[in-house]
Structure 1
Amino acid sequence: MTVNEAAAVDGQLEEENIYSIIQLVKEGIRFHVFKLIMEQSPYSITEWSNFLHLSERTMLRYKNENKSFDPIYSEKIMEISLLQNYGKKVFGSEENFNVWLHSTNIALGGITPKDLLDNSFGIRLLKDELTRIAHGILA
């Protein structure tokens, strides 16, 4: 496991380490590293396959062949992982953040935040909302 992969698994890659993140995305996240990231997240393999727009069968093929995800999927994995780390900081715990992720949110038009994790625009919207929460600006 590379230094960047280990940092990603440990939740130590932050947006400040953008060059490390870019390198990791370009190389592609290997499935066994993704598995460790997934195990630390509150999301099932089914949810991850929905977020990444990959079938579960394709995910199993990545697993069986220990393939690296293409950069487009690696980028999405990192975006969700970074958002998870940020959310834990904003809410003070993973548990509190996960409650927020699964709750209907008026500021997001009545959508649960988790439903926005399947595209970059939704992830950006959630990051912006977390920043507002961190600064005490509630809808």
Structure 2
Amino acid sequence: MAHALTTLNYSLIDDRDIFMLISTVREGIKYASFQTIADKSPFSLTEWSNYLHLSERTFQRYKKEKRTFDPLHSEKILEITLVYNKGVEVFGDQANFDAWLEAKNIALGGIKPKELLDSTFGIGMLRDELTRIEHGVLA
């Protein structure tokens, strides 16, 4: 299951994948699966805790107790994973997309794109911006 989550391609999701995502959210993501995702992302544990609105102490407890994230946190983990994978696809490689995430962006109000990952609305903005970049429409 963890491998499927880290290789999910946003633009290639079909109805079967949507139901798999819904099922994953409902069951919750196990900490070990989250760790696999986190290890492949450029985000620190501090950043993940900010994105998920969980304290670092709570993260440590989840890890120690091998806990499963609740549906809301699981959904946010999947949304971030999907938008990250989409960004890598649009930019052609991880290093280029990681650099874009770190650079202040005028089209996004002069903030770093990664600062938008703490809300569903921000993730949607990033998804829209990646679609514009993909299609050569730069605002």
Please classify the TM superposition score into its range, dividing by the shorter chain length. Answer: over 0.9
Alpha-carbon distance between aligned partners in 2 of 1:73 and 1:52, rounded to the nearest angstrom: 6
1:5 touches 1:24 (CA, 8 Å); kept in 2? no
Identity fraction in percent = 54
Give the C-alpha shift of residue 109 in structure 1: 1.1
1:92 aligns with 2:106: no
Aligned residue pairs total 135
Counterpart residue number, 2:63: 63
Q: TM-score, normalised by structure 2?
A: 0.93
Corresponding letter in the other structure for 2:41:
S
Give the C-alpha shift of residue 13 in structure 1: 5.5
1:101 touches 1:114 (CA, 8 Å); kept in 2? yes
2:9 touches 2:86 (CA, 8 Å); kept in 1? no
- Once the two structures are superposed, what CA deviation does each residue of 1:65-89 show, in whole Å capped at 9, x if it has no partner? 1010000000000000000100001
Secondary structure, aligned partner of 1:129: helix
Q: Which runs of 5+ in 1 are unaligned?
A: none
Instruction: Give the 4+ runs in structure 1 shifted more than 4 A.
Output: none
1:29 touches 1:69 (CA, 8 Å); kept in 2? yes
Counterpart residue number, 2:73: 73
Secondary structure, aligned partner of 2:136: coil
Alpha-carbon distance between aligned partners in 1 of 2:40 and 2:108, rounded to the nearest angstrom: 26
Alpha-carbon distance between aligned partners in 2 of 1:62 and 1:36, rounded to the nearest angstrom: 14
Corresponding letter in the other structure for 2:102:
H
1:104 touches 1:111 (CA, 8 Å); kept in 2? yes
Q: Which runs of 5+ in 2 are unaligned?
A: none
Counterpart residue number, 1:5: 2
Alpha-carbon distance between aligned partners in 2 of 1:6 and 1:127, rounded to the nearest angstrom: 22
Counterpart residue number, 1:137: 137
Give the C-alpha shift of residue 123 in structure 1: 0.2
2:104 touches 2:110 (CA, 8 Å); kept in 1? yes
Alpha-carbon distance between aligned partners in 2 of 1:116 and 1:74, rounded to the nearest angstrom: 17
Q: TM-score, normalised by structure 1?
A: 0.93
Alpha-carbon distance between aligned partners in 2 of 1:126 and 1:6, rounded to the nearest angstrom: 24
Which structure would you say has the larger RCO, counting Cα contacts within 8 Å and 6 or more residues apart? 2
Alpha-carbon distance between aligned partners in 1 of 2:41 and 2:131, rounded to the nearest angstrom: 20
